[in-house]
Amino acid sequence: MKKLNVALIFGGKSGEHEVSLSSTASIYKHIDKDKYNVFTIGITKDGRWMYYEGNEENIKNGEWVNLANKNVEINLVPVGNREVGLVFEDGRVEKMDVLFPVLHGPYGEDGTIQGLFEISQIPYVGCGVLASSVGMDKLVCKKVFSQIGLPQVDYTYTTKWSFNKNEDQELNSIESKLKYPIFVKPANLGSSVGISKACNREELLKGINEALQFDSRVVLEQGVNAREIEVAVLGNDEVKASIAGEIKPAKDFYDYEDKYINGASTYDIPANISDEDMENIRQMAIEAFKGIDGKGLSRVDFFKDKETGEIFINEINTLPGFTNISMYPKMWEATGLEYSNLIDRLIDLAIDAKK
């Protein structure tokens, strides 16, 4: 059987560049190289695309930038008679059968690069343009979830223009709608970048100013004393949900440092919840995924109120972390789908989506 040419596309201009490197190194290590010819295409922090051929350690530590072959042309746009694929110095062209983006955050998870992939007409892993952009935008996604009828914590939002115009008025408005503690989040960012917890007006002001460094809109959510439950979903038309897992943050909440650097938080897979709650959460995850027209994969995050037992959907991540401590592959592993087989399934789904 002929091997498929698979291009892992990693790095990118977002604040989650290093997360992408770790995820890509892990995928490269575990992908079945008897089935696939694996090509690695890195995007630098300033947006330059370069072909790298080497081991995963140099991807993870960032050395790939210095080792990249700058003479290989990366052509993903069909123009005239030019071949779509990788054009090597000797004139050889390697056409890609599947593009596998491992790009978290803006420019990689928000529908922008998915638009390029659509133009390339090459099958690609993960959600399409619409689902990616909706899933990335926390504010728009909340409105979609409301339309579907999924339960959420109370929330409001502010914009850079409104906040700069009348800071006190915006703070008063937020405080009239929500009680402390309040979670402050940039509307378009992932991996807990720019997120803070405010317990008073001073912290709220600081948190909003911090979030506005990353986006022009800021989502404010009612803080709840809750357990953090996550579910992995997989599929195109037929969608399945994994066993749910529970994150036990080492701090007040599961932040960027804990997710990708020190790994101090612990987790339970499966989550220690009732069978009824488990089924309810898994079903809501599938509804959320279908509601944004998801394809391939996503991780859906929930809150379970410690006092009332209520379950709220938090957000959906259309390109979740794939590092060795990431919940998405771990939850599927606990459900019976091993890491390398999960990669196979994602590639199959990418091809099926284009049939």
- Catalytic residue annotation: 16, 191, 326
Q: Is 144 among the annotated ligand-binding positions?
A: no
Q: Is 227 among the annotated ligand-binding positions?
A: yes
Q: Is 248 among the annotated ligand-binding positions?
A: no
Alpha helices in the chain (DSSP H): 17-30, 56-60, 64-67, 112-120, 129-136, 138-148, 160-165, 167-177, 201-211, 256-260, 275-291, 327-335, 339-353
Distance in angstroms (rounded) separating the CA atoms of residues 130 and 128: 6
Q: Is 228 among the annotated ligand-binding positions?
A: yes
Q: Is 222 among the annotated ligand-binding positions?
A: yes
Q: Is 312 among the annotated ligand-binding positions?
A: no
Distance in angstroms (rounded) separating the CA atoms of residues 328 and 266: 15
Q: Is 191 among the annotated ligand-binding positions?
A: yes
Kindly report the backbone phi and psi dihedral angles of residue 219, in degrees, each rounded to the nearest multiple of 5, phi listed first: -95, 135
Query: Any idea what the Cα angle at residue 208 is, between residues 204 and 212, rounded to 5°?
Result: 175
Give the amino acid at 347.
I
Q: Is 225 among the annotated ligand-binding positions?
A: yes
Query: Any idea what the Cα angle at residue 289 is, between residues 188 and 45, rounded to 5°?
Result: 35
Nearest to residue 285, comparing CAs of 266, 259, 312? Answer: 312
DSSP string for 255-293: -HHHHHTS---EEESS-S--HHHHHHHHHHHHHHHHHTT
Q: Is 26 among the annotated ligand-binding positions?
A: no
Alpha helices in 31-159 (DSSP H): 56-60, 64-67, 112-120, 129-136, 138-148
Q: Is 226 among the annotated ligand-binding positions?
A: yes
- The pair of structure tokens assigned to 344 is 């196979």
Nearest to residue 265, comparing CAs of 282, 278, 247? Answer: 247
Q: Is 138 among the annotated ligand-binding positions?
A: yes
Q: Is 246 among the annotated ligand-binding positions?
A: no
Kindly report the backbone phi and psi dihedral angles of residue 109, in degrees, each rounded to the nearest multiple of 5, phi listed first: -120, 5
Q: Which residues are annotated as a binding site for ATP?
A: 138, 183-185, 191-192, 221-228, 314-315
Q: Which residues are annotated as a binding site?
A: 138, 183-185, 191-192, 221-228, 301, 314-315, 317
Q: Which residues are annotated as a binding site for Mg(2+)?
A: 301, 315, 317
